[in-house]
Amino acid sequence: MKSILKTLAIVLTLAFTAVSCSSDNDDNGSGSGSRDVRYEITGNYSGKTSVTYFEKGGNAVNEDLTKLPWTKEFTAEAKSMGATLSASGYGGVAGQTLTGKIYVGGKLENELTVTANSEGIIVLSLTPYVFPL
């Protein structure tokens, strides 16, 4: 079950990234131009959880969460196209929550709160942030 959730999180992350990168060339000045990224996951989810995110070089990384809150900070390299975050878990309690946030240049760019289903399974997948060209 754990490997299925990890695979699902990676597939969702890559699918959202492919879709968002192809049509996001209309920079309306909303981004700061910064490449300082901070990911954050908070909540009361007590099950086994893993997180998938793009690291400073733009590669997808998967790691197990051992405690909440969880954060990761770095400066993205020039070859990195953007930032994205997803998490999934099993073995929690129905109604427990996770909140994921993506900050770029200190500004909150995306946030999502999700709730575990009746089987204690939770899936959090934020829309990717694409760096301005």
Other C-beta atoms within 10 Å of 63: how many?
12
Can you give the pLDDT at residue 30? Answer: 47
Query: What number is the average pLDDT over the span 108-132?
Result: 97
Q: Which of 87, 124, 129 is nearest to 107 (CA)?
A: 129
pLDDT reading at 34 higher than 90: no
Can you give the pLDDT at residue 29? Answer: 43
At residue 8, φ and ψ (nearest 5 deg) are -60, -45
Can you give the pLDDT at residue 3? Answer: 63
pLDDT tens-digit map of 69-101: 999 999 999 999 999 999 999 999 999 999 999
**Are β-strands 70-75 and 97-104 bridged in parallel, bridged antiparallel, or unpaired?**
unpaired
Q: Model's pTM, two decimal places?
A: 0.78
Query: What number is the average pLDDT over the span 41-54?
Result: 98
